[in-house]
Amino acid sequence: MTTVASSSGTLAQKLKDSLLASTGNIVFGMEDGTVSIFGLVFGVAASAPSSHVVLLAGATGAAAAAVSMMAGTYLDVSTANDRAQAEQKRKQQDIEQRTAREAQNVDTRLSAAGFTTAERTAVVSALEAHPDTWLQVASAVELDVGDAQRQSPLAQSLWMFVADLLAAAIPVIPFAFLPLGPARQLSVIMTLCLLIFLGFGRARVAQTKLVPTVLQTVGIATAAAAAGLLVGKLVTG
């Protein structure tokens, strides 16, 4: 029982850590899914004869967009990880083969930051005595890739897929249960509520002002809906 509980606790912690590490992708995925499908739904609803047509178009678009975003996220994270590993390998070679030059670079950086000669000597000596730590410090400070290699492309892309798909479903769901007119009205209300929620999320993730961020999020979706509606009207004449 203790082993099972420990395994469950470890799994829950890993899931929590993965969720926290993917917060930015989740918020972005939800915003992308909501905005793109909201615009699509309103474009189709402008000329659709029934809710079924809008539902089909919206569900198809939501699934395709979610898969596309998942693939894009996987490739983006994989590329970032490969770049980080390549830069770290190059830096490790520099530390091992050009130790004196790298030590001088560190000393120069510390001097520019206001460290005294004694402080610089102590830091450089400590780094030379611990090359693995030196590589970690250089990765985080100099290369700015300290955590990139720790991100899982699979986890990040799956979170993106789920977030994008769930958010994209919100504007579509009313068309599965209601006639065209009422469905369109409920879709606007549900999407607006989700966008306000996403505005809160964006403001928290980016540490920006709440009201402007919420208004920006709602404004982008409104523009997408207007564009979809305009295209729908132009196509149908």
pLDDT digits (tens, 9 = 90+) for 216-236: 878 877 777 777 767 766 666
Q: Is residue 1 part of a domain?
A: no
Per residue in 89-143, pLDDT tens? 887 787 788 888 888 888 888 888 788 888 888 888 887 888 888 777 777 766 5
Same-domain status, 192 and 224: yes
Residue 149 predicted with pLDDT over 60: no
Q: Is residue 111 part of a domain?
A: yes
Task: Transcribe 116-143 into DSSP letters.
Answer: -HHHHHHHHHHHHH-HHHHHHHHHHHTS
End of a domain among 103, 124, 150?
150
Residue 189 predicted with pLDDT over 50: yes
Q: Which domain holds residue 107?
A: 85-150
pLDDT of residue 153: 83
Task: Transcribe 188-207 into DSSP letters.
Answer: HHHHHHHHHHHHHHHHHHHT
Same-domain status, 225 and 161: yes
Same-domain status, 71 and 120: no
**Burial of residue 81, with CB atoms counted within 10 A of its CB: 0-12 exposed, 13-18 middle, 19 or more buried:** middle
Alpha-carbon dihedral sign for residues 126, 131, 135, 138: positive
pLDDT of residue 141: 67
Same-domain status, 114 and 156: no
Residue 6 predicted with pLDDT over 80: no
Q: Rounded distance, CA 66 to CA 33, Å?
A: 7
Cα pseudo-dihedral 185, 187, 191, 193, rounded to 10: 60
pLDDT of residue 28: 74
Residue of 44, 136, 34, 43 lying closest to 95 (CA atoms) = 136
Same-domain status, 202 and 228: yes
Same-domain status, 67 and 111: no
Q: Is residue 25 part of a domain?
A: no
Q: Is residue 193 part of a domain?
A: yes
Phi then psi for 31, rounded to 5 degrees? -65, -45
Same-domain status, 166 and 198: yes
pLDDT of residue 11: 64
End of a domain among 125, 150, 175?
150
Q: Is residue 104 part of a domain?
A: yes
How many domains does the chain divide into? Answer: 2
Kindly indicate the confidence band of residue 4, based on its pLDDT and cuts at 50, 70 and 90.
very low
Residue 20 predicted with pLDDT over 70: no
Q: Is residue 110 part of a domain?
A: yes
pLDDT of residue 118: 84
Same-domain status, 142 and 158: no
Same-domain status, 165 and 200: yes
Q: Is residue 9 part of a domain?
A: no
Same-domain status, 102 and 196: no
Q: Is residue 127 part of a domain?
A: yes
End of a domain among 121, 150, 179?
150
Contact 61, 168 (CB under 8 A): yes
Contact 69, 166 (CB under 8 A): no
Same-domain status, 39 and 127: no
Which residue's structure tokens are 């918020």? 27
Kindly indicate the confidence band of residue 25, based on its pLDDT and cuts at 50, 70 and 90.
confident
Percentage above 90 pLDDT, the chain: 0
Phi then psi for 45, rounded to 5 degrees? -65, -20
pLDDT of residue 227: 75
Same-domain status, 96 and 113: yes
